[in-house]
Amino acid sequence: MIIDIHCHYTTEPAALHTFRDKQLAGLADAARKPAAKTLADLAISDETIVQSLQPQLKLQKDRGSDLTIFSPRAAGMAHHVGNAEVSRQWTTISNDLIHRITQLLPDNFVGVGQLPQFPGVAPAECIGELQRLAELGFVGVNLNPDPSGGWWSGPPLTDRHWYPLYEKLVELRMPAMIHVSSCCNPNFHHTGAHYINADTTAFMQLIQGNLFKDFPELKFVIPHGGGAVPFHWGRYRGMCLAMQKKPLAEHLLNNVFFDTCVYHQPGLRLMTEVVPMSNILFASEMLGAVPGIDPDTGFHFDDTKRYIDGLDGLSADDRYALFEGNARRVYPRLDQLLKRRGR
Amino acid sequence: MIIDIHCHYTTEPAALHTFRDKQLAGLADAARKPAAKTLADLAISDETIVQSLQPQLKLQKDRGSDLTIFSPRAAGMAHHVGNAEVSRQWTTISNDLIHRITQLLPDNFVGVGQLPQFPGVAPAECIGELQRLAELGFVGVNLNPDPSGGWWSGPPLTDRHWYPLYEKLVELRMPAMIHVSSCCNPNFHHTGAHYINADTTAFMQLIQGNLFKDFPELKFVIPHGGGAVPFHWGRYRGMCLAMQKKPLAEHLLNNVFFDTCVYHQPGLRLMTEVVPMSNILFASEMLGAVPGIDPDTGFHFDDTKRYIDGLDGLSADDRYALFEGNARRVYPRLDQLLKRRGR
């Protein structure tokens, strides 16, 4: 079974965008606020949702993946926009839409949710939504380490500010993917710099801290191959030693995992050379930042399964770990759900 | 000949640090301002300088490099600290110290300078110091893309804000290494996140813009192996295409170069697989971020020459390009100076 742990819903029905425009227009002119308050009010039909997912389903089939862990559009979370109430309403509707997808096409999609973060608001305020997501069958969440949208005005992930949320994640056995959203700092292109920088930043914060001493069961997935981390694996191993921490693998690798959203063969090869196979989870982020065709190969840049298939010397155990086993271990609710369904 | 294009003076005499402390103490209490105004006032003897360089000289000898392109401590630039006048005085003294090194040990060190940047001050204000550096025999400069020190409050490198400085760099045939300094944003460890993020950020800014259409002769060196860029080479090739730019190599690689400050063998191998050999310049940043010994190899993490020597299939031409030829091409004033000395 091949599980793609990182895809976002980037082909949303027009009604969702219309709602969002009205919601934000309402900030400037209350008369333009949407009448809709919930997903049900948007009256999006099952047919519309299923139709919108055809590109994803076609790629699943063409590329040979079986199940996608699916979350709202990452750049769409935009936690910094509006106010805390706007973020909360938008989060609820976005998550409810993912939930409907997982009900309509349960064999293809399992949900990961977004959180109602807002700059300056305590992460503890997200606990209610987290509990609701667990009850709806979501298996994890995306956690934005910079809800300010590129200004990095909040505290690092190791700060006690985040601890109440971590306690709940551990209680619910849900991992968090550390994923920023859109960026309003003109220095950082969102998918070309902000995403990759955030991955690198988060990992370095975790090296500096001792978070997993306090939360030995907490699990983070760092997307986009871990940003710059595998490329600078020697740097991070060396800094970890210089900071008198345990060796990098002991310090972080029981709790930190990377996905395979690296869009060329040499990158993925490097990653599997330096990161233990137990810490790499198959993903493509397809229909994401780089949906085009690589003129050098004739295949889509984000068809990451090809790069794994192109690796020399992967054992059957390695392939199982990468494509399925690690995902079941890092997302215990996914494993539970699959077992319940006899998979 | 082996030229290490990226090392900083991190073993400065105590008198320099004493001066800096007094300079910054003077911001809080004018009575504590240093009496010294210039490097000469610090009365650092030639012997003290030469003595302070022994660790560098020993490593040059042990590791087999011949010449080091040497600049003031990167984290020491701290452009965000104090005010524009503090930055200017500190820059002048720091550069003058590098100049003395290049006079005392001309066979070992060639200078790269820092610029008197300050947040919000026009880069054009650096032109005077740039001209002075050229006259003193410096072959390039470090340009800080974020003089705010981790808040990224200024415009991207492609903004016309920077153009007057670029005009002067082109006129003087000096490349700029894009190098941030220390960081006061607690999210970013300076050498573990801020440096690497800045490298990635700068490259992405250059993809988004068309800077080298306006400055076909301008040359940038992106340090630390280009941050995350080689690891995500497919991502950047794909984004460049999606943005309707020329292919990545045509769009940027006549003007953008990477150093080899990547502290493990697989990282350097990846880099030479994806980045053309003409765009990679040997460097170690030794006595920098990761000076320790790698327990896996028994050698220093930052002994990057070993990783190059460990590559399969490098031709003699490749080695010449990496170790010498590219440096002479990217730093024409270095080439000129070496030729004048019969090297």
Angle in degrees, CA B67, B69, B72, rounded to 5: 135
**A191 and B301 in contact by Cβ < 8 A?**
no
Report the pLDDT value the prediction gives residue A284, as an integer from 0 to 100.
Answer: 98
Query: A298-338 pLDDT, tens per residue?
Result: 999 999 999 999 999 999 999 999 999 999 999 999 999 99
Give yes or no for B132 touching A (CB within 8 A).
no
Q: Are strands A280-281 and B67-72 parallel, antiparallel or unpaired?
A: unpaired
Instruction: Point out the residues of A that are catalytic.
Output: 285
**A234 and B208 in contact by Cβ < 8 A?**
no
Give yes or no for B238 touching A (CB within 8 A).
yes
Q: What φ, ψ does residue B261 adopt, rounded to 5°?
A: -80, 70
Q: Provide, for chain A, the percentages of residues in helix, strand and coil under a 3-state DSSP scheme, each rounded to the nearest 5.
A: 50, 10, 40
**A289 and B151 in contact by Cβ < 8 A?**
no
Chain B, residues 27-56, CB within 8 A of chain A, namely none
Average pLDDT, chain A: 98
Angle in degrees, CA B211, B217, B222, rounded to 5: 65
Query: A70-124 pLDDT, tens per residue?
Result: 999 999 999 999 999 999 999 999 999 999 999 999 999 999 999 999 999 999 9
From chain B, pick out residues whose CB is under 8 angstroms from the CB of A266. 233, 270, 273-274
From chain A, pick out residues whose CB is under 8 angstroms from the CB of B295. 241, 247
Give yes or no for A148 touching B (CB within 8 A).
no
Query: A4-54 pLDDT, tens per residue?
Result: 999 999 999 999 999 999 999 999 999 999 999 999 999 999 999 999 999
**B197 and A192 in contact by Cβ < 8 A?**
no
Query: A163-215 pLDDT, tens per residue?
Result: 999 999 999 999 999 999 999 999 999 999 999 999 999 999 999 999 999 99
Q: Is the ipTM of this complex over 0.85?
A: yes
From chain B, pick out residues whose CB is under 8 angstroms from the CB of A230. 231, 267
Cα-based distances in Å from A309 to A63, A130, A265: 11, 36, 10
How far is Cα A123 from Cα A116, in angstroms, rounded to an integer? 9
Q: What is the DSSP letter of A46?
A: H
User: Best interface-test mutation with A: which of B232, B307, B308 has the largest number of A CBs within 10 A?
Assistant: B232
How far is Cα B258 from Cα B271, in angstroms, rounded to an integer? 9
Average pLDDT, chain B: 98
Q: pLDDT grade, residue A66 (50/70/90)?
A: very high
Residues 6+ positions from B3 with CB-CB distance below 8 Å: B65, B66, B67, B68, B69, B281, B282, B323, B324, B327, B328, B334
Report the pLDDT value the prediction gives residue B40, as an integer from 0 to 100.
Answer: 98
Query: Is residue B171 flagged as an active site residue?
Result: no
A210 touches B195 (CB < 8 A): no
Report the pLDDT value the prediction gives residue B228, as an integer from 0 to 100.
Answer: 98
From chain B, pick out residues whose CB is under 8 angstroms from the CB of A306. none
CA distance A270 to chain B (A): 6
From chain B, pick out residues whose CB is under 8 angstroms from the CB of A269. 270
Report the pLDDT value the prediction gives residue A131, as an integer from 0 to 100.
Answer: 98
Query: B74-89 pLDDT, tens per residue?
Result: 999 999 999 999 999 9
Give yes or no for B306 touching A (CB within 8 A).
no
Instruction: Please name the residue of chain A whose CA is at the shortest distance from the CA of residue B285.
Output: A235
Query: Is B306 strand, coil or helix?
Result: helix
Give yes or no for B258 touching A (CB within 8 A).
no
CA distance B253 to chain A (A): 17
Interface contacts (A, B; CB < 8 Å): 201
Q: pLDDT grade, residue A152 (50/70/90)?
A: very high
Instruction: Please name the residue of chain B whose CA is at the shortest distance from the CA of residue A239.
Output: B290
CA distance B232 to chain A (A): 6
Q: Which residues of chain B have pLDDT under 50?
A: none
Report the pLDDT value the prediction gives residue B1, as an integer from 0 to 100.
Answer: 96
Report the pLDDT value the prediction gives residue B338, as an integer from 0 to 100.
Answer: 98
Chain B, residues 96-125, CB within 8 A of chain A, namely none
**B227 and A225 in contact by Cβ < 8 A?**
no
Q: How far apart are the first and last CA of chain A?
A: 9
